[in-house]
Amino acid sequence: ETGVTQSPTHLIKTRGQQVTLRCSSQSGHNTVSWYQQALGQGPQFIFQYYREEENGRGNFPPRFSGLQFPNYSSELNVNALELDDSALYLCASMPGSRQENNYGYTFGSGTRLTVV
């Protein structure tokens, strides 16, 4: 059983650029969530996809967008990068549509994005 894989592992971008981060969910998991984790803070919920539809969103501006594909892999796109977007971006997958159903997340190892 393969876990959650993310690419790339590290990325440096310039302010104003756009970035796409990728995630392959764990086998059998149809829900993918994206989180942003700044240094010294807990992960902040960006959004969640279940069977290719967004079914939850946190307090992030519209320049943060995503997709989920039929194979349940996912992309996170960030436009017009700002310095404050520098963080670890974590992808997490789980079976079922809601963590309230007692399914825990399996996290990928993250993409560390630096905006200069």
Partner 1 sequence: RKEVEQDPGPFNVPEGATVAFNCTYSNSASQSFFWYRQDCRKEPKLLMSVYSSGNEDGRFTAQLNRASQYISLLIRDSKLSDSATYLCVVPNAGKSTFGDGTTLTVKP
Residue 98: CB minimum distance to partner 1, A = 6
> Which one, 55 or 79, has the nearer CB to partner 1?
55
Q: How far is the CB of 32 from partner 1 (least distance, A)?
A: 13
Find where tokens 């017009």 sit. Answer: 80
User: Which lies closer to partner 1 via its Cβ, residue 18 or residue 54?
Assistant: 54
Contact set with partner 1 (CB under 8 A): 33, 35, 40-45, 48, 55-58, 90, 97-102, 104-110
The closest alpha carbon to 37, from 79, 68, 6, belongs to: 6
- At 80, the amino acid letter reads A
Exposed / middle / buried, residue 41 (Cβ in 10 Å: 0-12, 13-18, 19+)? exposed
CB closer to partner 1, 45 vs 65: 45
Find out whether 36 and 103 touch, Cβ atoms under 8 Å: no
